Amino acid sequence: MTVTQGPALRTGEGASSPQEASPPVLLRTRDLVKDYHGDGGTVRALWGVSLDVGAGEFVAVMGPSGSGKSTLLHVLGGLEAPTSGQLWLAGERADRLSPAAWAVRRRSGIGIVFQAANLLSSMTVADNIELPALLAGATARQARARREVLLDQLGLAAKARVAPARLSGGEQQKVALARALVNKPALLLADEPTGSLDSTSTTEVLKLLRRAHADGQAIVLVTHDVRVASHADRIVNLFDGMICDDAPVAMPRSRRAAEAAPLTALRRS
């Protein structure tokens, strides 16, 4: 049975965006500026950020605290509007979208993992993971099958029926990642997804991210951990709200892709 979903993200062809590179550009920003206004005056968090992320590309964003990394992710996911500049998503202008339109985009094609897990306390672990799939049009059976695969991948199958409050902070973060990946979004935005994890849990999360990457999902991941960033295709460094470096990772992509089998179970529909 085919899952009926809202309009998913597609790499646009013939759209009125700037000329695309190869692989097709899924996400593009031009001169993004983000200001915050408070009693102490205006603080500029982003200073003209221009960035391209190709379909299926894994980009790690690094930089010191306060460099604008989390702000950039919030703008890319439509959680905050830029003060100025342009944002293109799958070949369509996105910085002009309404909050409601952004909500539809996130539901159908963008997964987001925050530094805080933000799980629903009134639901079990299983229900937290299934909910985005159900909202996107999956049947209960399909959502359950996807959930079981992800829980197994993250070593949490035995805790599917417990409340999030009974999990450790690291376990809650893994559930949040599973929730973001359950719909196989074209784009995953992750803010320090391994920041609160021990080495074993970090390895499990990285395996899942590599599999998602090998399966064609684009990932933009904020991290302070060079070991985590080394799994990306590129590392973008931010400093004082500006990109100061953008370079490929030395390890060949083919080698990283070979380390992870595709998540074929998540393709069931």
Residue 197: its pLDDT value, please?
Answer: 85
Residue 204: its pLDDT value, please?
Answer: 87
Residue 262: its pLDDT value, please?
Answer: 35
Residue 251: its pLDDT value, please?
Answer: 60
CATH class (in words) of the domain with range 56-79+98-267: alpha beta
- Where does the pLDDT of residue 79 fall: very low under 50, low under 70, confident under 90, or very high at 90 and above? very high
Residue 201: its pLDDT value, please?
Answer: 86
- Where does the pLDDT of residue 22 fall: very low under 50, low under 70, confident under 90, or very high at 90 and above? low
Q: What is the DSSP track for the chain?
A: -PPP-S------SS-SSSPP-SSPEEEEEEEEEEEEEETTEEEEEEEEEEEEEETT-EEEEE--TTSSHHHHHHHHTTSS--SEEEEEETTEE-TT--HHHHHHHHHHHEEEE-SS----TTS-HHHHHHHHHHHTT--HHHHHHHHHHHHHHTT-GGGTTS-GGGS-HHHHHHHHHHHHHTT--SEEEEESTTTT--HHHHHHHHHHHHHHHHTT-EEEEE-S-HHHHTTSSEEEEEETTEEEEEEE-SS-HHHHHHTS---GGGG--
Over residues 216-228, the pLDDT tens digits come to 999 999 999 998 9
Provide the residue ranges of all domains of the chain, joining segments of one domain with +: 56-79+98-267
